[in-house]
Amino acid sequence: MPSTGIPRKALAYWPLAVLVVVADWITKSLAVAYLEPAHIAHPFIGTIVQLTLTYNPGTAFGIPVGRGILARGALAAVVVIALIVLFSMYRKTAAGDAWLGAALGLVSGGALGNLIDRLRSARGVVDFIDVRFGAWHFWTFTVADAGVSVGAVLLAIVLWHHDKARTAGRTS
């Protein structure tokens, strides 16, 4: 395959980050437009996946952080710092490391998607994907949350493999 001159990490990072932000914004906008009133479950895939509009003023998994402009501002500042750290990691990533670029792109896109939503509304981040298996109820989430979660797992795996390769290189 001919080289485009664009680093593989960039070909993974930027499209995934943009895709997560755009898909998150579109799906949240649709959820707000079509799922009112809030907290009424709308079956999507039987009773396993339902669409239920909620607003999360807290952090991941609904962990509360307080209400008001100061709490929102503090949480936004933490997310901005995290985005700076993630982008710094991306810049230090080897040009050919598409997997690390992909992981960082997913986490960055998800964090940015939720940050945009948090700044847009005092009600909190829109959540609407509601997964249930019998009596077990997963927390309600969004495309941004999925990006952060999948990206974090991928990031852990990639960094573990990098560490394993670095350790193997020292012992040989």
Using a CB cutoff of 8 Å and minimum separation of 24, what contacts does 134-141 make? 139/61, 139/62, 140/52, 140/54, 140/56
DSSP-assigned states of every residue in 58-127 = SSGGG-----SHHHHHHHHHHHHHHHHHHHHHHHHS-TT-HHHHHHHHHHHHHHHHHHHHHHH-TT-EEE
Helix axes 8-34, 143-171, angle to 10 degrees: 160
Helix axes 98-120, 8-34, angle to 10 degrees: 30
Nearest to 115 by CA among 15, 23, 21: 21
pLDDT of residue 3: 64
Instruction: State the catalytic residues.
Output: 127, 145
pLDDT of residue 68: 65
| pLDDT tens series, the chain, 172 aa | 456 799 999 999 999 999 999 999 999 999 999 997 778 999 999 989 999 999 987 766 555 556 667 777 888 899 999 999 999 999 999 999 999 999 999 999 999 999 999 888 888 899 999 999 988 988 899 999 999 999 999 999 999 999 988 888 775 5
CA–CA dist 29, 75 (Å, integer): 22
